[in-house]
Structure 1
Amino acid sequence: MSRFWSPVVHSLIPYVAGEQPAMSDIAKLNTNENPYGPSPLALEAISKAVSDTLRLYPDPTARGLRAAIAASYGLDKDEVFIGNGSDEVLAHTFQALLNHEEPLLFPDITYSFYPTYCRLYGIEFREVALDARMRVRVADYRQSCGAIILPNPNAPTGIGLPIADIETLVREHPEQVVVIDEAYVDFGGESAIPLVRKYRNLLVVQTFSKSRGLAGLRVGFAVGQRPLIEALERVKDSFNSYPIDRLTLAGAIAAWEDRDWFERHRALVIATRGRLGIALQALGFVVLPSSANFVFARHASKPGADLAAELRSRGVLIRRFSGARISDFLRISIGTDAECDRLLAALDDILR
Structure 2
Amino acid sequence: MSKLWSDHVAGLVPYVPGEQARMPNLLKLNTNENPYGPSPRALEAMRAALGDDLRLYPDYSALALRQTIARHHGLDAGQVFLGNGSDEILAHVFNALFLRAGRPLLVPDITYSFYRTYCRLYQVPHRLVPLDAQFAIRVEDYAGPMAVEPSGIIFANPNAPTGCALPLASIDAIARARPDSAVVVDEAYVDFGADSAAALMDRHDNLVVIHTLSKSRSLAGLRVGYALAHPPVVEALSRVKDSFNSYPMDRIALAGAQAAIEDEAYFEQSRRAVMDARQTLAGELRALGFEVLPSEANFVFARHPARDAAAIQRALREQAILVRHFKSPRIEQFLRITVGTPEECARLCRALAQILSESH
TM range (shorter): over 0.9
Q: Which residue of 1 aligns with 2:115?
A: 114
Q: Which residue of 2 aligns with 1:277?
A: 282
Instruction: Find the residue that maps to 2:141 and give its secondary structure.
Output: helix
Q: Which residue of 1 aligns with 2:320?
A: 315
* Distance apart, 1:324 and its partner CA: 1.5
Query: In structure 2, what is the Cα distance between the partners aligned to 1:24 and 1:110?
Result: 32
Q: Which residue of 2 aligns with 1:21?
A: 21
Q: Which residue of 2 aligns with 1:84?
A: 84
1:47-106 deviations in Å (ceiling 9; x for gaps): 000000000011122111100011122221011000000000000000001122211001
Query: In structure 1, what is the Cα distance between the partners aligned to 2:68 and 2:254?
Result: 11
* Distance apart, 1:290 and its partner CA: 0.2
Query: In structure 2, what is the Cα distance between the partners aligned to 1:338 and 1:170?
Result: 42
Query: In structure 2, what is the Cα distance between the partners aligned to 1:196 and 1:99?
Result: 23
Q: Which residue of 1 aligns with 2:124?
A: 123
Query: In structure 2, what is the Cα distance between the partners aligned to 1:48 and 1:11?
Result: 45
Q: Which residue of 1 aligns with 2:134?
A: 133
Aligned positions of 1:72-221 closer than 5 A = 72-100=72-100, 101-141=102-142, 142=144, 143=146, 144=148, 145-221=150-226
1:282-314 deviations in Å (ceiling 9; x for gaps): 101000000000000000110000000000000
Q: Which residue of 2 aligns with 1:329?
A: 334
Query: In structure 2, what is the Cα distance between the partners aligned to 1:72 and 1:206?
Result: 12
Give the share of equivalent positions with the same residue, in percent.
57
Does 156-165 or 189-198 show the bigger shift? 189-198
Q: Which residue of 2 aligns with 1:306?
A: 311
Unaligned 5+ residue runs, structure 1? Answer: none
Does 281-290 or 92-101 show the bigger shift? 92-101
Moved over 3 A (4+): none
TM norm structure 2: 0.97
Q: Which residue of 1 aligns with 2:231?
A: 226
TM norm structure 1: 0.99
Instruction: Find the residue that maps to 1:149 and give its secondary structure.
Output: strand
Instruction: Find the residue that maps to 2:153 and give its secondary structure.
Output: strand
Aligned positions of 1:251-266 closer than 5 A = 251-266=256-271
Unaligned 5+ residue runs, structure 2? Answer: none
* Distance apart, 1:140 and its partner CA: 1.0
Query: In structure 2, what is the Cα distance between the partners aligned to 1:24 and 1:166?
Result: 44
* Distance apart, 1:146 and its partner CA: 1.6
Query: In structure 2, what is the Cα distance between the partners aligned to 1:96 and 1:61?
Result: 19
* Distance apart, 1:236 and its partner CA: 0.5
Q: Which residue of 2 aligns with 1:290?
A: 295
The letter for the 1-side match of 2:227 is A
Instruction: Find the residue that maps to 1:105 and give its secondary structure.
Output: strand
Does 1:56 find its partner at 2:31? no
Contact 2:97 2:151 in 1 (8 A): no
Query: In structure 2, what is the Cα distance between the partners aligned to 1:324 and 1:256?
Result: 38
Query: In structure 2, what is the Cα distance between the partners aligned to 1:158 and 1:74?
Result: 26
The letter for the 1-side match of 2:38 is P
Q: Which residue of 2 aligns with 1:65?
A: 65
Q: Which residue of 2 aligns with 1:39?
A: 39
* Distance apart, 1:226 and its partner CA: 0.3
Query: In structure 2, what is the Cα distance between the partners aligned to 1:272 and 1:12?
Result: 39
Query: In structure 2, what is the Cα distance between the partners aligned to 1:179 and 1:169?
Result: 11
Query: In structure 2, what is the Cα distance between the partners aligned to 1:345 and 1:53?
Result: 50
Query: In structure 1, what is the Cα distance between the partners aligned to 2:208 and 2:302?
Result: 30
Query: In structure 2, what is the Cα distance between the partners aligned to 1:87 and 1:320?
Result: 21
Query: In structure 2, what is the Cα distance between the partners aligned to 1:208 and 1:169?
Result: 26
Query: In structure 2, what is the Cα distance between the partners aligned to 1:320 and 1:188?
Result: 24
Query: In structure 2, what is the Cα distance between the partners aligned to 1:225 and 1:198?
Result: 11
1:204-234 deviations in Å (ceiling 9; x for gaps): 0000000000000000000011000111100
Query: In structure 2, what is the Cα distance between the partners aligned to 1:214 and 1:181?
Result: 17
Q: How many residues align?
A: 352
Instruction: Find the residue that maps to 1:69 and give its secondary structure.
Output: helix
- Equivalent residue for 1:350, pick from 333, 338, 355: 355
The letter for the 2-side match of 1:140 is D
The letter for the 1-side match of 2:5 is W
Query: In structure 2, what is the Cα distance between the partners aligned to 1:268 and 1:175?
Result: 40
Query: In structure 2, what is the Cα distance between the partners aligned to 1:184 and 1:214?
Result: 13
Query: In structure 1, what is the Cα distance between the partners aligned to 2:133 and 2:74?
Result: 39
